[in-house]
Amino acid sequence: MRKNIAVIRGDGIGPEIVDQALLVLNRVAELYGHEFAYTDVDMGGCAIDKYGDPLPQHELDKCCAADSVLLGAVGGPKWNDVPGSMRPEKGLLRLRAGMGVYSNNRPAKIWPQLADASPLKKSIVDKGIDFIIVRELIGGIYFGKHETFEENGEKVSVDELRYSEEEIRRIGRIGFETAQKRGKKLCSVEKSNVLDSSRLWKKVMHELAAEYPDVELSDMLVDNCAMQIVKDPSQFDVIVTENMFGDILSDEASMITGSIGMIPSSSLGATGCGLYEPIHGSAPDIAGQDIANPIGTILSAAMMLRFSFSMAEEADCIENAVSAVLTAGYRTGDILPADGNATKVGCREMGRLIIENLTKG
């Protein structure tokens, strides 16, 4: 199978971690008889330096023409003083809108080898943490009307939380379809005891459930979900929720796994073309020093194989290789235990070790 992947190396440690992910993809292609072609795309600070624009239209067009997009990280202090409309992060927002990706999918998975890094009690961690939060990405309160005005002699601010049935239905389908590929359990999170938008959310989700009889649907209020994630995360398989709730819950979920350097993410829309990236930033303070952790990016590439290319076995191959390297005791600096009881390696060496452990199932 041949796939064209748009590659955004970006800024800071982005080029280093993306290079390792591409080496892993190349080896997977060799093992399984695929061909991955790469199209380089400039976005973020590097695009500002080159074009005076964080994402020119001709670069966005490359992404929209690809089968999927792999992104490292963008931004850094070098571009802090550029006008707000031209900041590196604006390129990312433009990319999401241009690609029409409305679903952000962030796994919360703790690798058993890194269990001690979690802030949760060992008795909780030992039950397992392995779920995905499916967050609606381009609607809700972040994209509603925002206004500040004077009323009765004081300033008043209003932010509109708005959802249509279709917006809920399309993110709900992503949630159900993701659950079908995992443990077939979907938890719909809202605040239907207070908000009209959440009552509509719950209604649409239950209508959709009839189309997915193989998936068990449950409902949970967002405040309870926040508590349950730290009380017993093992109960969750897939969580689907609106934009602001997902923003908050996904950050909470990433914290309980112990290291943001290990966590991938995907953003999906109506087509199979997705945007895949690690959740961490560009870390300009360590850029070019060969100490960044490439695993989040490598696992993002595995997500791309699984969810955009339907290459589940190939994705398993990558994840198994990561697990083998961690079991062997190799760690980049960000996941090195405090007692030093591990072998510290750099970015390139971690990539090499993972490639060495790629084995066709």
**From 32, 38, 130, 142, active-site residue:** 142
Catalytic-residue membership of 330:
no
Q: Which residues contact 176 (CB under 8 A, 6 or more apart)?
A: 186, 208, 209, 211, 212, 215, 217
Residues 288, 290, 295, CA angle at the centre, nearest 5°?
115
Alpha-carbon distance of 229 to 224, in angstroms, equals 9
**From 40, 126, 196, 223, active-site residue:** 223
Greatest Cα pair distance, the chain, in angstroms, is 70
Catalytic-residue membership of 142:
yes
Q: Which of 118, 71, 37, 88 is nearest to 280 (CA)?
A: 71
Q: Which of 312, 339, 269, 241 is nearest to 64 (CA)?
A: 269
Q: How far is CA 289 from the centre of its chain?
A: 25
**From 53, 247, 290, 316, active-site residue:** 247
Catalytic-residue membership of 130:
no
Catalytic-residue membership of 223:
yes
**From 67, 102, 191, 276, active-site residue:** 191
What is the identity of the amino acid at 159?
A: D
Catalytic-residue membership of 19:
no
Provide the sign of the torsion angle of the four alpha carbons 66, 2, 180, 72, taken in this order: negative
Alpha-carbon distance of 274 to 102, in angstroms, equals 10
Helix (H, G, I), strand (E, B) or coil at 73: strand
Contact 10, 276 (CB under 8 A): no
**From 126, 159, 251, 285, active-site residue:** 251
Catalytic residues: 142, 191, 223, 247, 251
